[in-house]
Structure 1
Amino acid sequence: MKLSDIRDWLVSGQDFTEGVALYAQVGTSKTYQRLFALGATAYSQGVLQRELAQLVEVVGEEISHLDQDLRPVPVPPAAPVMPEPVPVVPEPAPVAPVATPVHLAFNQPLEELLDAAEQYAAQLLAELSQQLRQVRDERSHLHPQLTAKGLSRKARLVLALQIVGLTSEEAKIKALQAHVRQHGKLPGPVASAQLNDQGQLRQRLQNRLSYRCKLRKKQPAKAAQLAVVEAEIVLIRSKLTS
C-alpha cells in the first residue's frame, strides 16, 4: 500500500469500507478496529478520517527525516596545516520530535461505547429469538389443523396461506439475526449513494439539511459529524442534478 492511497481516500468520497481496509494495513489500535467492525456511523466515520489523516502526517514526517539522514554529507576541502590547529566541532542540529497521536480522551469512552454496542446486539438477538419462537409455535399449532376432519377446502387454503406467511416471516427473522451477529445492529436505511428515486433523495436531503443545522449549533464538538453530513449533502445534490 502506498501513502498516496490514503491521501487519495482523504480527498475523495471517503468510502467507509475502503477506509477501514486502509486502516487495517497501517493502523495499530485494536480498539478502533473493533469500532470500525460495527459498521459506519457518523462517529466511526469521523474517527476513521482523523486516524488516517494523522497517520499520513506522522509517516510523512518520518520519511522527510529519513531522506535528510540519507543525503551525502559534503566533505569540506582539507584545511592547510597550521601550528596547533584548533578543531571546530559543529553543534548537532536539533532533531524535531515526531508527533505521536495520543487519544487518551477517547480511549475510556470508546471502550464504554463498544461494551454498550455489544450489550445492545445481545438484546436485539434475544428479542429476535423470542419472535422466532413465537412464529414457530404458531406455525406448529396450524399444521395439525390442515388435516382436521370436516375442514372445508377454503378453510384449508386459508390455513396453508397462513403457514406460508409464517415460514416467510421465519426467514426474515433469521436474516435479521445474521445481520446483527455480523454488524451488531439491525439493518439501517439505504445509503444515499445507493438511492436513485428522486422523491426519496429529496426527502433524505431535507433530513440532512435539518440535521446539519443542529450540528452547526454544537460546534466544535460535532465537527467530525458535521463533515460527514456535509459530504452526504453534496452527494445527494449531485445525484438530484445528474
Structure 2
Amino acid sequence: MQPVDFREFSCKECAQACDLGFDFSMAFQPIVDISSRTVFAVEALVRGTNGEGAADVFKHVNESNRYRFDQSCRVKAIRLAASLGVQSFLCINFLPNAIYKPELCIRTTLAAAQTYGFDQTKIIFEFTENERIFDQAHLLNIINHYQEIGFQTAIDDFGSGYNGLAQLADLKTNFTKIDMELIRHIDQDSARQTIVRHMTRMLEALGQTVIAEGIETAAEYEMLKSMGITLFQGYLFAKPAFESIPEIHWQD
C-alpha cells in the first residue's frame, strides 16, 4: 500500500486535483425553500470532466489518495460556486475517514473561501450515513470543530446507512437530509408516511432542520409538504447541472 499523503495543499494545487492522477469537476443541484420560494442552498456533486457520474470518479479514489481527493473536492466546489455567483448556502460532501486532524485539514478550505471570495459561513459540510464511521469520537470532534469556526453541518442520506439513531444522539448537526429511499412513493405507502412524519418531529425536537431529498413527483412533494417540511431537493425542482446552476421548476 502506498503511504497516505497528509501534507497541506495550496488552493491552486487542489484546483488542479493535487496530483491525483485523474481530474474531476462538479455539478450543482439546488435545495429550495418553498416557504419563501427561494434557493436555500446548492449542493456540489462530484462529476467527471465530461459530466460522467460520481461512480466513475470514485473508482479512482483509494486509501492513499482519499485525503487529497477530499481536499480537492472542497476547493473545486468553492471555486466553481464563487465563479457562478452563488449567494445561497453551499453544501459540500466530506469524507470523515479522510480527515486526520480537523484543525489542520480545514486550512485549505478556509484559504479557498478567502481566495475565491466565498463567505465561509455559507458553507454546509455534509457527511453521509453510507460511509461507515469507525471512530465516532473522531467524527464528533470534526463536527464540533467545524461548527466552532462558523461552518454548518448536515447528516446526508439519513435513514439508509450504518449509524442511524445512535449517531443522531451524539452528533449535533444543523441539518438532516432524509434519504430518498424513504421518500420514494411516500404518497402511496402508509408505513413510509408514518416513519417520515415521526422522524421529522423528532429531528425538529432535536433542533435540526429537515431537508427532504430525492423528490421526483408532485404527489411525493405534496405529502411531505403536508408534514411541515419546507426544504426540498430533487429532480421535481431541478436536476444537477454540470458546472452551472439549473433553472428551478417551482411547484404551485
Q: Rg bigger for which structure? A: 1
TM-score norm. by structure 1 comes to 0.23
Question: Is the helix fraction higher in 1 or 2?
Answer: 1
Question: Is the strand fraction higher in 1 or 2?
Answer: 2
